[in-house]
Protein backbone atom coordinates (compact mmCIF):
# COMPACT_ATOMS: atom_id res chain seq x y z
CA UNK A 1 0.00 0.00 0.00
CA UNK A 2 1.16 3.56 -0.62
CA UNK A 3 -0.17 7.00 0.29
CA UNK A 4 -3.36 7.72 -1.59
CA UNK A 5 -4.11 4.17 -2.68
CA UNK A 6 -2.76 0.71 -3.54
CA UNK A 7 0.19 -0.29 -5.73
CA UNK A 8 0.08 -3.32 -8.01
CA UNK A 9 2.94 -5.73 -8.55
CA UNK A 10 3.59 -9.12 -10.12
CA UNK A 11 4.79 -12.07 -8.07
CA UNK A 12 5.33 -15.76 -8.62
CA UNK A 13 5.12 -18.67 -6.18
CA UNK A 14 7.58 -21.52 -6.77
CA UNK A 15 9.14 -24.44 -4.95
CA UNK A 16 12.83 -23.48 -4.62
CA UNK A 17 14.99 -26.17 -3.02
CA UNK A 18 11.77 -27.83 -1.84
CA UNK A 19 10.38 -24.74 -0.11
CA UNK A 20 7.42 -22.60 -1.25
CA UNK A 21 8.88 -19.24 -2.25
CA UNK A 22 7.38 -15.96 -3.42
CA UNK A 23 9.44 -14.17 -6.06
CA UNK A 24 8.72 -10.55 -6.93
CA UNK A 25 8.64 -9.80 -10.66
CA UNK A 26 8.25 -6.01 -10.46
CA UNK A 27 5.53 -3.41 -10.25
CA UNK A 28 2.76 -2.70 -12.72
CA UNK A 29 2.66 -0.89 -15.12
CA UNK A 30 6.46 -0.53 -15.20
CA UNK A 31 6.65 -4.31 -15.75
CA UNK A 32 4.14 -5.31 -18.40
CA UNK A 33 2.18 -8.54 -18.48
CA UNK A 34 4.33 -9.87 -21.31
CA UNK A 35 7.53 -9.09 -19.38
CA UNK A 36 6.16 -10.76 -16.26
CA UNK A 37 5.28 -13.88 -18.25
CA UNK A 38 8.81 -14.06 -19.67
CA UNK A 39 10.24 -13.76 -16.15
CA UNK A 40 7.92 -16.55 -14.98
CA UNK A 41 9.22 -18.87 -17.70
CA UNK A 42 12.85 -17.98 -16.96
CA UNK A 43 12.35 -18.65 -13.25
CA UNK A 44 10.68 -21.99 -13.94
CA UNK A 45 13.57 -22.95 -16.21
CA UNK A 46 16.07 -22.02 -13.50
CA UNK A 47 14.28 -24.17 -10.92
CA UNK A 48 14.06 -27.08 -13.36
CA UNK A 49 17.84 -26.82 -13.81
CA UNK A 50 18.39 -26.86 -10.06
CA UNK A 51 19.20 -23.15 -9.70
CA UNK A 52 17.71 -20.52 -7.43
CA UNK A 53 16.13 -17.78 -9.58
CA UNK A 54 16.87 -15.25 -6.83
CA UNK A 55 20.61 -15.85 -7.15
CA UNK A 56 20.86 -13.65 -10.25
CA UNK A 57 20.41 -14.01 -13.97
CA UNK A 58 22.26 -16.21 -16.42
CA UNK A 59 25.66 -14.65 -17.15
CA UNK A 60 26.67 -13.45 -20.57
CA UNK A 61 29.44 -15.25 -22.41
CA UNK A 62 31.80 -12.37 -21.62
CA UNK A 63 31.02 -12.59 -17.90
CA UNK A 64 31.37 -16.37 -17.87
CA UNK A 65 34.67 -16.21 -19.78
CA UNK A 66 36.13 -13.90 -17.14
CA UNK A 67 35.07 -16.32 -14.40
CA UNK A 68 36.69 -19.24 -16.24
CA UNK A 69 39.94 -17.31 -16.77
CA UNK A 70 40.02 -16.22 -13.13
CA UNK A 71 39.44 -19.82 -12.02
CA UNK A 72 42.29 -21.24 -14.13
CA UNK A 73 44.85 -18.43 -13.97
CA UNK A 74 46.37 -19.48 -10.60
CA UNK A 75 46.99 -23.01 -11.96
CA UNK A 76 48.61 -22.01 -15.27
CA UNK A 77 52.42 -22.08 -15.34
CA UNK A 78 52.59 -18.51 -16.66
CA UNK A 79 49.21 -17.43 -15.36
CA UNK A 80 49.15 -13.75 -16.37
CA UNK A 81 50.50 -14.42 -19.86
CA UNK A 82 48.08 -17.29 -20.53
CA UNK A 83 45.18 -15.22 -19.22
CA UNK A 84 46.16 -12.39 -21.57
CA UNK A 85 46.30 -14.79 -24.52
CA UNK A 86 42.85 -16.18 -23.68
CA UNK A 87 41.35 -12.70 -23.39
CA UNK A 88 43.00 -11.53 -26.60
CA UNK A 89 41.80 -14.45 -28.74
CA UNK A 90 38.29 -14.39 -27.31
CA UNK A 91 38.12 -10.60 -27.70
CA UNK A 92 39.20 -10.71 -31.34
CA UNK A 93 37.10 -13.65 -32.50
CA UNK A 94 34.42 -14.77 -30.02
CA UNK A 95 33.20 -11.62 -28.28
CA UNK A 96 31.82 -9.86 -31.39
CA UNK A 97 29.42 -12.79 -31.88
CA UNK A 98 28.96 -14.21 -28.38
CA UNK A 99 30.01 -11.61 -25.83
CA UNK A 100 26.58 -10.17 -25.01
CA UNK A 101 24.64 -13.41 -25.36
CA UNK A 102 23.72 -15.27 -22.20
CA UNK A 103 25.46 -18.62 -22.02
CA UNK A 104 22.17 -20.54 -22.12
CA UNK A 105 21.20 -18.94 -25.44
CA UNK A 106 24.36 -19.76 -27.40
CA UNK A 107 23.86 -22.34 -30.14
CA UNK A 108 26.12 -24.40 -32.38
CA UNK A 109 25.25 -21.98 -35.18
CA UNK A 110 26.61 -19.12 -33.05
CA UNK A 111 29.89 -20.96 -32.52
CA UNK A 112 30.05 -21.75 -36.24
CA UNK A 113 29.71 -18.03 -36.97
CA UNK A 114 32.88 -17.49 -34.92
CA UNK A 115 34.94 -20.32 -36.38
CA UNK A 116 34.05 -20.65 -40.07
CA UNK A 117 35.57 -17.31 -41.17
CA UNK A 118 38.98 -18.31 -39.78
CA UNK A 119 38.85 -22.11 -40.04
CA UNK A 120 40.59 -22.33 -43.42
CA UNK A 121 43.01 -19.42 -43.09
CA UNK A 122 43.91 -19.55 -39.39
CA UNK A 123 43.28 -23.19 -38.52
CA UNK A 124 45.39 -23.35 -35.35
CA UNK A 125 43.90 -20.10 -34.03
CA UNK A 126 40.42 -21.42 -34.77
CA UNK A 127 41.15 -24.64 -32.89
CA UNK A 128 42.30 -22.71 -29.84
CA UNK A 129 39.31 -20.37 -29.94
CA UNK A 130 36.99 -23.36 -30.19
CA UNK A 131 38.74 -24.99 -27.22
CA UNK A 132 38.35 -21.82 -25.14
CA UNK A 133 34.70 -21.37 -26.07
CA UNK A 134 34.22 -25.01 -25.10
CA UNK A 135 35.83 -24.39 -21.71
CA UNK A 136 33.36 -21.57 -21.04
CA UNK A 137 30.46 -23.76 -22.14
CA UNK A 138 31.61 -26.65 -19.91
CA UNK A 139 31.75 -24.22 -16.99
CA UNK A 140 28.19 -23.20 -17.85
CA UNK A 141 27.07 -26.84 -17.88
CA UNK A 142 28.75 -27.42 -14.52
CA UNK A 143 26.83 -24.45 -13.09
CA UNK A 144 23.58 -25.71 -14.62
CA UNK A 145 23.11 -22.72 -16.89
CA UNK A 146 22.79 -25.11 -19.83
CA UNK A 147 22.90 -28.85 -20.54
CA UNK A 148 25.25 -29.15 -23.52
CA UNK A 149 28.46 -27.81 -25.01
CA UNK A 150 27.75 -26.23 -28.43
CA UNK A 151 31.50 -26.18 -29.18
CA UNK A 152 31.87 -29.91 -28.49
CA UNK A 153 32.01 -33.01 -30.68
CA UNK A 154 28.86 -32.18 -32.62
CA UNK A 155 30.48 -29.17 -34.25
CA UNK A 156 33.45 -31.17 -35.56
CA UNK A 157 31.37 -32.74 -38.31
CA UNK A 158 29.92 -29.37 -39.34
CA UNK A 159 33.25 -27.56 -39.77
CA UNK A 160 34.99 -27.69 -43.17
CA UNK A 161 37.50 -30.51 -43.49
CA UNK A 162 39.70 -28.93 -46.14
CA UNK A 163 39.13 -25.78 -48.16
CA UNK A 164 41.84 -23.17 -48.20
CA UNK A 165 45.47 -23.65 -47.38
CA UNK A 166 46.36 -24.73 -43.88
CA UNK A 167 49.69 -23.77 -42.40
CA UNK A 168 51.59 -26.86 -41.28
CA UNK A 169 53.57 -26.01 -38.18
CA UNK A 170 55.44 -29.30 -37.87
CA UNK A 171 56.47 -30.95 -41.14
CA UNK A 172 55.99 -34.71 -40.92
CA UNK A 173 56.96 -37.72 -43.04
CA UNK A 174 54.48 -40.27 -44.37
CA UNK A 175 54.71 -43.09 -41.84
CA UNK A 176 55.95 -45.50 -44.50
CA UNK A 177 59.14 -43.41 -44.82
CA UNK A 178 59.98 -43.13 -41.12
CA UNK A 179 61.81 -46.46 -40.84
CA UNK A 180 64.12 -45.52 -43.72
CA UNK A 181 64.73 -42.09 -42.16
CA UNK A 182 65.73 -43.69 -38.85
CA UNK A 183 68.09 -46.08 -40.65
CA UNK A 184 69.66 -43.16 -42.53
CA UNK A 185 70.28 -41.23 -39.32
CA UNK A 186 71.69 -44.34 -37.66
CA UNK A 187 74.19 -44.72 -40.51
CA UNK A 188 75.09 -41.02 -40.66
CA UNK A 189 78.18 -41.19 -38.46
CA UNK A 190 76.89 -38.29 -36.34
CA UNK A 191 77.58 -38.04 -32.61
CA UNK A 192 76.14 -41.22 -31.16
CA UNK A 193 74.22 -39.66 -28.29
CA UNK A 194 72.38 -37.39 -30.73
CA UNK A 195 71.57 -40.32 -32.99
CA UNK A 196 70.32 -42.33 -30.02
CA UNK A 197 68.14 -39.40 -28.89
CA UNK A 198 66.57 -39.06 -32.32
CA UNK A 199 65.71 -42.75 -32.68
CA UNK A 200 64.42 -42.90 -29.10
CA UNK A 201 62.24 -39.86 -29.85
CA UNK A 202 60.77 -41.65 -32.87
CA UNK A 203 60.21 -44.95 -31.07
CA UNK A 204 58.48 -43.36 -28.08
CA UNK A 205 56.58 -40.68 -30.08
CA UNK A 206 57.77 -38.20 -27.48
CA UNK A 207 58.47 -34.50 -27.64
CA UNK A 208 62.06 -33.36 -28.10
CA UNK A 209 62.32 -31.69 -24.70
CA UNK A 210 61.09 -34.81 -22.92
CA UNK A 211 63.77 -36.95 -24.60
CA UNK A 212 66.64 -34.46 -24.34
CA UNK A 213 65.94 -33.99 -20.64
CA UNK A 214 65.61 -37.71 -19.84
CA UNK A 215 67.45 -38.85 -16.68
CA UNK A 216 68.56 -42.32 -15.80
CA UNK A 217 66.55 -42.34 -12.58
CA UNK A 218 63.40 -42.02 -14.70
CA UNK A 219 64.09 -45.36 -16.43
CA UNK A 220 63.00 -48.69 -14.93
CA UNK A 221 64.80 -51.35 -16.94
CA UNK A 222 63.07 -54.19 -15.13
CA UNK A 223 59.61 -53.10 -16.29
CA UNK A 224 60.87 -51.42 -19.48
CA UNK A 225 59.22 -48.16 -18.47
CA UNK A 226 60.29 -44.54 -18.72
CA UNK A 227 58.40 -42.12 -16.45
CA UNK A 228 58.59 -38.48 -17.49
CA UNK A 229 57.94 -36.20 -14.49
CA UNK A 230 55.15 -33.62 -14.58
CA UNK A 231 57.69 -30.78 -14.64
CA UNK A 232 58.75 -31.75 -18.17
CA UNK A 233 55.34 -32.59 -19.57
CA UNK A 234 53.23 -30.13 -21.56
CA UNK A 235 50.10 -31.12 -19.63
CA UNK A 236 51.95 -30.91 -16.28
CA UNK A 237 51.18 -34.47 -15.25
CA UNK A 238 53.61 -37.43 -15.10
CA UNK A 239 53.58 -39.68 -18.14
CA UNK A 240 54.57 -43.35 -18.18
CA UNK A 241 56.09 -44.46 -21.47
CA UNK A 242 56.23 -48.20 -22.27
CA UNK A 243 59.52 -49.05 -23.97
CA UNK A 244 59.73 -51.35 -26.95
CA UNK A 245 62.55 -53.86 -27.21
CA UNK A 246 64.45 -51.58 -29.59
CA UNK A 247 64.02 -48.59 -27.25
CA UNK A 248 65.57 -50.63 -24.43
CA UNK A 249 68.46 -51.59 -26.75
CA UNK A 250 69.09 -47.89 -27.40
CA UNK A 251 69.20 -47.21 -23.67
CA UNK A 252 71.64 -50.08 -23.18
CA UNK A 253 73.89 -48.60 -25.87
CA UNK A 254 73.52 -45.10 -24.43
CA UNK A 255 74.50 -46.39 -20.99
CA UNK A 256 77.90 -47.36 -22.39
CA UNK A 257 78.46 -43.68 -23.21
CA UNK A 258 76.94 -42.37 -19.99
CA UNK A 259 80.17 -42.20 -18.00
CA UNK A 260 78.22 -41.62 -14.79
CA UNK A 261 76.27 -38.76 -16.42
CA UNK A 262 72.78 -38.06 -15.10
CA UNK A 263 71.41 -37.32 -18.57
CA UNK A 264 70.54 -40.26 -20.79
CA UNK A 265 71.49 -38.42 -23.98
CA UNK A 266 74.12 -35.80 -23.04
CA UNK A 267 75.89 -33.51 -25.46
CA UNK A 268 79.67 -33.86 -26.01
CA UNK A 269 80.14 -31.34 -23.17
CA UNK A 270 77.92 -33.36 -20.82
CA UNK A 271 75.07 -30.87 -20.93
CA UNK A 272 71.56 -31.36 -22.27
CA UNK A 273 71.35 -31.53 -26.06
CA UNK A 274 69.79 -28.45 -27.61
CA UNK A 275 66.68 -28.72 -29.73
CA UNK A 276 68.59 -27.24 -32.65
CA UNK A 277 71.14 -30.07 -32.48
CA UNK A 278 68.54 -32.73 -33.27
CA UNK A 279 66.86 -30.51 -35.86
CA UNK A 280 70.24 -29.92 -37.55
CA UNK A 281 70.94 -33.66 -37.62
CA UNK A 282 67.63 -34.27 -39.40
CA UNK A 283 68.11 -31.36 -41.81
CA UNK A 284 71.70 -32.23 -42.77
CA UNK A 285 70.69 -35.78 -43.61
CA UNK A 286 67.94 -34.64 -45.97
CA UNK A 287 65.05 -35.90 -43.87
CA UNK A 288 61.99 -33.96 -45.03
CA UNK A 289 60.49 -33.22 -41.63
CA UNK A 290 61.21 -31.73 -38.23
CA UNK A 291 61.71 -33.94 -35.15
CA UNK A 292 58.30 -33.02 -33.69
CA UNK A 293 56.68 -34.14 -36.93
CA UNK A 294 57.49 -37.73 -36.04
CA UNK A 295 54.62 -37.61 -33.55
CA UNK A 296 52.26 -36.90 -36.43
CA UNK A 297 53.77 -39.75 -38.43
CA UNK A 298 53.18 -42.10 -35.50
CA UNK A 299 49.60 -40.89 -35.07
CA UNK A 300 48.85 -41.40 -38.78
CA UNK A 301 50.28 -44.92 -38.63
CA UNK A 302 48.30 -45.72 -35.48
CA UNK A 303 45.07 -44.58 -37.15
CA UNK A 304 45.70 -46.29 -40.48
CA UNK A 305 47.64 -49.45 -39.63
CA UNK A 306 46.88 -50.44 -36.04
CA UNK A 307 43.77 -51.78 -34.35
CA UNK A 308 44.34 -49.66 -31.25
CA UNK A 309 41.34 -47.64 -30.03
CA UNK A 310 41.52 -43.89 -30.37
CA UNK A 311 41.96 -43.44 -26.60
CA UNK A 312 45.08 -45.63 -26.61
CA UNK A 313 46.63 -43.70 -29.51
CA UNK A 314 45.92 -40.34 -27.88
CA UNK A 315 47.32 -41.43 -24.53
CA UNK A 316 50.46 -42.71 -26.25
CA UNK A 317 51.02 -39.08 -27.26
CA UNK A 318 50.13 -37.85 -23.74
CA UNK A 319 47.11 -36.07 -25.20
CA UNK A 320 44.36 -35.46 -22.65
CA UNK A 321 42.21 -32.99 -24.55
CA UNK A 322 38.84 -34.40 -25.48
CA UNK A 323 36.17 -35.58 -23.07
CA UNK A 324 36.55 -39.18 -24.25
CA UNK A 325 40.28 -39.22 -23.60
CA UNK A 326 39.94 -37.49 -20.24
CA UNK A 327 37.39 -40.10 -19.17
CA UNK A 328 39.71 -42.90 -20.26
CA UNK A 329 42.63 -41.31 -18.43
CA UNK A 330 40.66 -41.11 -15.20
CA UNK A 331 39.93 -44.83 -15.39
CA UNK A 332 43.40 -45.90 -16.44
CA UNK A 333 46.37 -44.82 -18.50
CA UNK A 334 45.81 -47.97 -20.61
CA UNK A 335 49.46 -48.80 -20.12
CA UNK A 336 49.57 -52.41 -21.30
CA UNK A 337 47.57 -51.61 -24.41
CA UNK A 338 49.99 -48.79 -25.11
CA UNK A 339 52.90 -51.18 -24.64
CA UNK A 340 51.51 -53.39 -27.40
CA UNK A 341 51.02 -50.36 -29.63
CA UNK A 342 54.58 -49.07 -29.17
CA UNK A 343 56.08 -52.50 -29.83
CA UNK A 344 54.02 -52.74 -33.03
CA UNK A 345 55.33 -49.30 -34.03
CA UNK A 346 58.93 -50.41 -33.43
CA UNK A 347 58.34 -53.58 -35.46
CA UNK A 348 56.84 -51.52 -38.29
CA UNK A 349 59.89 -49.24 -38.39
CA UNK A 350 62.27 -52.20 -38.40
CA UNK A 351 60.41 -53.73 -41.35
CA UNK A 352 60.47 -50.53 -43.42
CA UNK A 353 62.79 -50.41 -46.46
CA UNK A 354 66.33 -49.42 -45.54
CA UNK A 355 68.00 -46.86 -47.85
CA UNK A 356 71.22 -47.77 -49.61
CA UNK A 357 74.14 -45.97 -48.01
CA UNK A 358 76.67 -44.77 -50.58
Query: For 291-310, what is the mean pLDDT?
Result: 88
> In this structure, is residue 168 part of a structural domain?
no
pLDDT band at 161 (very low <50, low <70, confident <90, very high): low
Does residue 269 sit in the same domain as residue 339?
Answer: yes
Residues 190 and 313 in one domain: yes
**For the residues 281-297, what does the mean pLDDT come to?**
91
Q: Residue 90's domain is classified under what CATH number? A: 1.10.150.130
Domain membership flag for residue 119? yes
Higher per-residue confidence, 161 vs 37:
37
Residues 205 and 344 occupy one common structural domain: yes
Summarize pLDDT for 5-57 with one digit per residue, the tens: 556 778 888 886 677 877 777 777 777 888 788 888 877 887 776 666 665 66
List for the chain the helix, strand, coil content (%; round to 5): 55, 10, 35
Lowest-confidence range among 100-114, 161-175, 194-208, 219-233? 161-175
Q: Could you tell me which residue, 153 or 307, shows the higher pLDDT? A: 307
What predicted TM-score, i.e. pTM, was given to this entire model? 0.53
| Domain finish residue from 156, 188, 207 | 156
Q: Do 344 and 234 share a domain, yes or no? A: yes
Give CA–CA dist 279/285, Å, rounded: 10
Range with lowest mean pLDDT among 94-98, 203-207, 230-234: 230-234
Q: Let me know if residue 251 belongs to a domain.
A: yes
Do 198 and 277 lie in a common domain?
Answer: yes
Q: Judge if 199 and 250 occupy the same domain.
A: yes
HSE-CB at 347 with a 13 A cutoff on CA atoms is 9
Please provide the average confidence, as pLDDT, over all residues in the chain: 83
Is residue 294 in a domain?
yes
Same domain, yes or no, for 23 and 70?
no
pLDDT on residue 258: 73
Residue 104 falls within a domain, yes or no?
Answer: yes
DSSP 281-346: HHHHTT-SS-TTHHHHHHHHHHHHH----HHHHHHHTT---SHHHHHHHHH---HHHHHHHHHHHH
User: Are 234 and 342 within one domain?
Assistant: yes
Q: 329 and 273, same structural domain?
A: yes
Q: How many domains does one find in the chain?
A: 3
Shared domain for 268 and 327, answered yes or no, is: yes
Q: Are residues 77 and 206 in the same domain?
A: no
Instruction: Looking at the structure, tell me whether residues 181 and 323 fall in a common domain.
Output: yes
Cβ of 226: how many Cβ atoms within 10 Å? 25
Residue 170 domain-assigned (yes or no): no
Residue 300 belongs to domain with CATH number: 1.10.443.10
Domain range spanning residue 41?
Answer: 8-53
* Ranges 224-233, 289-298, 347-356: which has the least confidence: 347-356
Provide the CATH number for the domain around residue 17. Answer: 3.30.160.390
Which of 1-5, 77-81, 128-132 has the lowest average pLDDT? 1-5
135 located within any domain = yes
In a domain, 167, yes or no: no
Amino acid sequence: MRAGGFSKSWSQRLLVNGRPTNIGLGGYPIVTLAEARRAVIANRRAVAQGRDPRAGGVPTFEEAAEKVIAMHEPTWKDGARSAAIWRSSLRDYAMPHLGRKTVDSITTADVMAVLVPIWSTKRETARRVRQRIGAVMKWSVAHRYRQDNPAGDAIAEALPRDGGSVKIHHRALPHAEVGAAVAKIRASGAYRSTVFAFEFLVLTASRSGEVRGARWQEVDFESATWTVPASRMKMSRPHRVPLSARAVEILDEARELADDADLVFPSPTGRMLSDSTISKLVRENGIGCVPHGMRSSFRDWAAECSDAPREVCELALAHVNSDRVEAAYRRSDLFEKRRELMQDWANYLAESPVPVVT
